[in-house]
Amino acid sequence: MKTRKISAVLLSAVMLASAFGLSSCGGEESNTLQILAESSYVDTEQLDAYAETFSAGSDALAAAEKTVEFTGLSVGTEDGDPTVYAASTMKADAMIAANEVDMMLCSLDEAARNARGEYYYSLEELFTPEELAQIPEEDLLSFDLVDEEGNPTGEKTPVCGVKISGNEALDSAIPGEEYGLFIVGNTDDLDLAKEVFWEIVNG
């Protein structure tokens, strides 16, 4: 159900995948969980350092005999350079459409855009109330829905992520932004994504 919804929302982005030289790698890289860090600026060296430490300590990855790949995508800002911003966010859309992203570390501004596009799983679909109760309520993320002119409609997206700003290692990779962790709705490895989700949240 979720995959069909994602596919409908990202139909135009599928066509962008070719333009950016992207192709679906679900079959080829089935042993790798793909995590995209998207923010106005991502320090890829710091992200790589976090990825190395995380991979070495992940029981979920070891048990599944799989690896994880973190990719950083600096999108800039719409106010700073609208052209670069539009191209960068379209690249993220195309990567998701091409099944090249299982999870996202995302600044809250970008997360809001993605959540409105229904890119993420609702956490209430994935976890029990008891599991979600482990997370402070103020850290559970949902976003205002907006109309075509960008005005709030009074409705909100489902709870789709967890704010994890304050993780020292990740703060250096996504500097100056509040950010959250999300599971993409067309991930090819939902079970592993759920386990890794908790490892990052509790890390």
Amino acid present at 55: S
Report the percent of the chain where pLDDT is more than 90: 78
pTM across the whole model: 0.86
Residue 30 has what pLDDT? Answer: 64
Per-residue pLDDT of 8-38, as tens digits, reads: 444 444 444 444 444 444 434 469 999 999 9
- 147 versus 3: the higher-pLDDT residue is 147
Q: How far is CA 48 from CA 4, 44, 75, 166, in A?
A: 33, 6, 18, 18
Residue 89, classed as helix, strand or coil, is helix
- pLDDT band of residue 48 (cuts 50, 70, 90) is very high
Question: Average per-residue pLDDT in the chain?
Answer: 88
Residue 73 has what pLDDT? Answer: 97
Per-residue pLDDT of 83-109, as tens digits, reads: 999 999 999 999 999 999 999 999 999
Residue 110's H or E segment, with its range, is: helix 108-116
Residue 32, classed as helix, strand or coil, is strand
Category of 166 on φ-ψ map: left (φ > 0), alpha (ψ -120 to 50) or beta: left
Mean pLDDT across 63-68: 96
Per-residue pLDDT of 116-125, as tens digits, reads: 999 999 999 9
Report the percent of the chain where pLDDT is more than 70: 85
Residue 78 has what pLDDT? Answer: 87
Mean pLDDT across 74-85: 91
- 67 versus 17: the higher-pLDDT residue is 67
